[in-house]
């Protein structure tokens, strides 16, 4: 058997972090088993589905590198096939027409609530002769769900889960206007796509029992189910906007690397011993459904930032320049010159050591572009005494070779002559050179900027 899995988002908004993780788990499971990972856009909600949301989902998946092995399928385009299957069930006596009015359905819900039961359809037309149907009423088609015994599903994540069949009412398969419902469409599409394993959030666990019965009624093979616990915020509540960004594409805009995001999503509810830094090749080799936990994972921004910082430090400098360049140019509202780009590239080793995101990296890279101004904290270091020190230092630096080692020796000798500490000289010099109190190695920065630019920056402060 060739493993075939699918990720099936609804294009009613951006790709949620939880959905991105579901896509990743499906992708890794398929690759681990030399199978196929497919993408299906469940766009049957025509009022809420938008082309913009579809495009956003595609872009987020592309950013994460989660590529489908076949062309995406759009569920709405298959509605005639779904309706055809509903009529097959009707013909086989496994579904029936229901002529209940909205008022009758509302009465059923109210009576159930009054008796402390969940609102549900009471089977009013299940065994009624269609000849008694009211005229002029367009019926829905309902599934004749088994009412006796119980159903046990051996979920690959949740274990054995049992539900009594009488807890499931006769769901609508086809609406009065002839459009299929989600429950029917999903089963038909999964069957026709040859899906062998359904990996999705555990908020769909109840649906699995309803869908299992439809499979059996059609004499189709039932896929294996694996329902993943949802992602919670740091406070233990279901992840929502109040916890911060929940859309995958936002994290790209916030300066997170795709490989860091994938690594972090992988570790949300799945583990391989104490391993934290996991490459995609390792994830494919190690991934199994049995290693997914049954408890909700908690989204932790501190861990994500630390992980992203690790991947930034490990990244190629040219790539980091290319990724941060649009951010820098947007900050400055200008196109950088080749000289400015080269300066940033030369300083990338020092810049990336402290950066947790590309936004931080881009901001720190501004020290190589002469556009900064001094904030209150850095301005406080430019005291009259420190200005005098810098005036003396300019003369010393003007006859010094601008290499890192030579610059460090020069400053140490200068501090000794002035009978002060190296830090007392370096602090105001850093402010003069970078406009900041914190930066990569001052000597590295000065060597990259060169003598002319470095002295010019100091003189701008001391005049």
Give the whole-angstrom CA distance, residue 56 versus residue 247.
10
Q: Identify the DSSP state of 292.
A: B
Q: How much is the CA Rg of the chain, to the nearest whole Å?
A: 32
Give the whole-angstrom CA distance, residue 457 versus residue 433.
6
- Tens digit of each residue's pLDDT (9 = 90 or more) over 289-311: 999 999 999 999 999 999 999 99
- Residue 247, SS3? strand
> Which helix (H) or strand (E) element contains residue 153?
strand 150-155
Q: Whole-number mean pLDDT of the chain?
A: 93
- pTM metric for this prediction: 0.91
Question: 245: pLDDT confidence band, cut at 50, 70 and 90?
Answer: low
Question: 45: pLDDT confidence band, cut at 50, 70 and 90?
Answer: confident
* Residues catalogued as catalytic: 241
- Residue 161, SS3? strand
CA distances from 305 to 92, 140, 300, 309, 349 (A): 57, 51, 9, 6, 19
pLDDT for the residue 108? 86
Question: 242: pLDDT confidence band, cut at 50, 70 and 90?
Answer: low
User: What values do phi and psi take at 8, rounded to 5?
Assistant: -130, 75
- Residue 120, SS3? coil
> What stretches of 333-372 show up as alpha helix (H) in DSSP?
338-346, 348-352, 358-365
Contact yes or no for 157/292 (Cβ under 8 A): yes
- Residue 180, SS3? strand
Is the CA virtual torsion 315, 321, 322, 327 positive or negative? positive
């Amino acid at each position: 058997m060739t493993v075939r899995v699918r990720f099936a988002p609804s294009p009613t908004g951006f790709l949620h972090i939880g959905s991105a993780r579901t896509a990743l788990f499906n992708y890794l499971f398929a690759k681990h088993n030399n199978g196929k990972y497919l993408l299906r856009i469940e766009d049957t909600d025509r009022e809420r589905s938008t082309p913009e949301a579809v495009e956003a989902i595609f872009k987020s998946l592309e950013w994460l590198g989660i590529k489908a092995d076949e062309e995406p399928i759009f569920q709405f385009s298959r509605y005639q096939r779904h309706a055809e299957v509903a009529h097959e069930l009707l013909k086989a006596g496994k579904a029936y027409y229901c002529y209940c009015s909205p008022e009758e359905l509302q009465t059923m819900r109210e009576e159930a609530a009054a008796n402390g039961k969940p609102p549900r359809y009471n089977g009013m037309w299940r065994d009624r002769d269609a000849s008694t149907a009211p005229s002029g009423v367009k019926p829905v088609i309902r599934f004749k769900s088994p009412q006796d015994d119980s159903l046990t599903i051996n979920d690959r994540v949740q274990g054995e889960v049992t539900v009594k069949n009488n807890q499931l009412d006769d769901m609508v398969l086809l609406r009065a206007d002839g459009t299929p419902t989600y429950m029917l469409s999903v089963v038909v599409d999964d069957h026709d796509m040859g899906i062998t394993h359904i990996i999705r959030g555990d908020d769909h666990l109840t649906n699995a029992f309803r869908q299992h019965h439809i499979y059996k009624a059609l004499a189709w093979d039932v896929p294996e189910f694996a329902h993943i616990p949802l992602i919670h915020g740091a406070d233990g509540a279901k992840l929502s906007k109040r916890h911060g960004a929940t859309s995958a594409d936002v994290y790209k805009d916030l300066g997170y690397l795709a490989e860091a995001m994938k690594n972090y999503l992988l570790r949300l509810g799945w583990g391989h011993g104490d391993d934290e830094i996991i490459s995609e090749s390792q994830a494919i080799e190690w991934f199994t459904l049995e290693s997914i936990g049954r408890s909700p994972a908690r989204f932790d921004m501190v861990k994500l930032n630390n992980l992203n910082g690790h991947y930034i430090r490990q990244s190629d400098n040219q790539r980091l320049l290319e990724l941060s360049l649009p951010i820098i140019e947007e900050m400055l509202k200008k196109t950088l010159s080749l000289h400015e780009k080269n300066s940033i590239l030369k300083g990338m080793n020092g810049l990336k050591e402290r950066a947790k995101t590309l936004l931080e990296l881009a901001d720190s890279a501004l020290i190589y572009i002469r556009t900064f101004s001094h904030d209150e904290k850095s301005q406080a270091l430019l005291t009259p005494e420190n200005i005098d020190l810098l005036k003396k230092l300019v003369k010393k630096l003007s006859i010094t070779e601008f290499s890192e080692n030579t610059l460090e020796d020069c400053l140490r000798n200068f501090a000794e002559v002035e009978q002060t500490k190296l830090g007392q000289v370096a602090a105001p010099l850093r402010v003069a050179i970078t406009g900041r109190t914190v930066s990569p190695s001052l000597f590295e920065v000065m060597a990259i900027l060169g003598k002319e630019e470095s002295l010019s920056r100091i003189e701008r402060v001391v005049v």
